Amino acid sequence: MLRILALVGLSVLCALPARADETAMAAAVNRSLNQVILPAYQAFADHAARLQTAVNDLRTNPDATGVQAARAAFGETAVAFSAIEAYRFGPARKDSRFERLFFWPDHRSRGYRQVMRILRDKDPRAADASTLAAKSVAVQGLPALAVVLFGEDSNDLASGGQAFRRQYASAIADRIMTVSQELLDAWRGPFAVTLRTPGPDNPFVRSHGEAMQILLRSLREQLQVVEKFKFVRITGDGQRTPNPGAAPFPGTGYSLRTTAANLAAMSDLADAINLESLLPEAHAHLASEFAFYLKAARGAIRDAMGAGKDWPGIVSNPEALQRAAYAALPLQDATDLLAERLPAALGLVAGYNALDGD
């Protein structure tokens, strides 16, 4: 009996795919850091610095040109943030940095209401970055700044009666700059070392395979967020009335651009990982299959943007709405592949869904 059980156990083990070589995993993690993640954090910090300058200039010298410059700097910063949005683990968890930058989705409009209350009451604690930091995370990040720069009553942002609004915008921009630099310093320094040097004494990852699990999980979760919250919830998926107001940064003109940036960043990450180099020959087709799904989703977004520019225009155009809604299908296929087939083929099934990234 023991011999039979041993043979059964051996056959099960033989049926499982071998984990990809640790050396190959290490190279993939290093490529991801060097080619995609660290440059994206640097770009976000650079854009946050330009945003801070533009909004502070608007505060001190308010005019229509300054409003235009601040809004443009906001859009570029939001797009740059979208390239790091997937990395919700590690440094992003400390001191709620992720939420301080991007309190979204705002399911019950709590953040929006808090921002509008600050503007109405002219809360002096929100007009200075040092005291704003102690307030709700919902009133100090990119969605909050979108309301201040683009929202209700923002058309006269340069007028004398909007001095507090400009002060609040400046405080938010200062906070965004501070957090962006904290994240860059953490990733460029100790956290990159943590991911590059796994081992028994490493509190975060014990092997290069575990580091790869974390990257693949971030890729999968970002695709889920895009599918469920940035498409289905907005297009209605044929079941509900389309709701362009549910998009990130509504009314700014940057909602769909930031979503396109999410997928571009995830495509760049997949290219840097080079899944085909990690997969056994029998499963190498999964890499091209995943790339096909991402390409299809990105193409659907491009088509929709060409027809309607951003969500309000897309929702009012049935053909553009249909194109946009289609993107959810390949995104779901890509997510399913990352959830089951790909980690199984890489021998990364154990613990894959249990990792919580903190």
Q: What is the pLDDT of residues 65-106, one digit of tens each?
A: 999 999 999 999 999 999 999 999 999 999 999 999 999 999
Of 353 and 344, more confident:
344
Asked whether the predicted pLDDT for residue 253 surpasses 70, the reply is yes
125-182 per-position pLDDT tens digit: 999 999 999 999 999 999 999 999 999 999 999 999 999 999 999 999 999 999 999 9
Mean pLDDT (whole number) for 47-67: 97
Mean pLDDT (whole number) for 117-128: 98
Q: For position 271, what pLDDT does the model report?
A: 96
Mean pLDDT (whole number) for 226-237: 92
**Cβ neighbours of residue 28 under 8 Å, at least 6 residues apart?**
212, 272, 273, 274, 277, 278
Q: For position 307, what pLDDT does the model report?
A: 77
Unique residue bearing structure tokens 């309301």: 147
The CA-atom distances, in angstroms, between 15 and each of 12, 34, 338 are 5, 35, 20
Q: For position 358, what pLDDT does the model report?
A: 38
Q: What is the pTM of this model?
A: 0.91
Write out the chain in H/E/C secondary structure. CHHHHHHHHHHHHHHCCCCCCHHHHHHHHHHHHHHHHHHHHHHHHHHHHHHHHHHHHHHHCCCHHHHHHHHHHHHHHHHHHHCCCCCCCHHHCHHHHHHHHCCCCCCCCHHHHHHHHHHHHCCHHHCCHHHHCCCCHHHCCHHHHHHHHHCCCCCCCCCHHHHHHHHHHHHHHHHHHHHHHHHHHHHHHHHHHHHHCCCCCCCCCCCHHHHHHHHHHHHHHHHHHHHHHHHHHHHHHHCCCCCHHHCCCCCCCCHHHHHHHHHHHHHHHHHHHCHHHHCCHHHCHHHHHHHHHHHHHHHHHHHHHHHHCCHHHHHCCHHHHHHHHHCHHHHHHHHHHHHHHHHHHCCCCCCCCCCCCC
Unique residue bearing structure tokens 């953490």: 186
Rounded CA-CA distance 217/163 in Å is 44
Q: For position 354, what pLDDT does the model report?
A: 32
Of 12 and 90, more confident:
90
Mean pLDDT (whole number) for 334-351: 85
The CA-atom distances, in angstroms, between 147 and each of 98, 155, 225 are 18, 12, 22
Q: Are the beta carbons of 22 and 265 closer than 8 angstroms?
A: no
Read off the amino acid at residue 324.
Answer: A
Q: For position 4, what pLDDT does the model report?
A: 37
The CA-atom distances, in angstroms, between 326 and each of 102, 227, 330 are 26, 10, 8
Retrieve residue 83's tokens: 């390239």
Asked whether the predicted pLDDT for residue 32 surpasses 50, the reply is yes
Measured between its terminal Cα atoms, the distance across the chain in Å is 44
Domains and CATH numbers, the chain: 19-196 (1.20.1420.20), 208-345 (1.20.120)
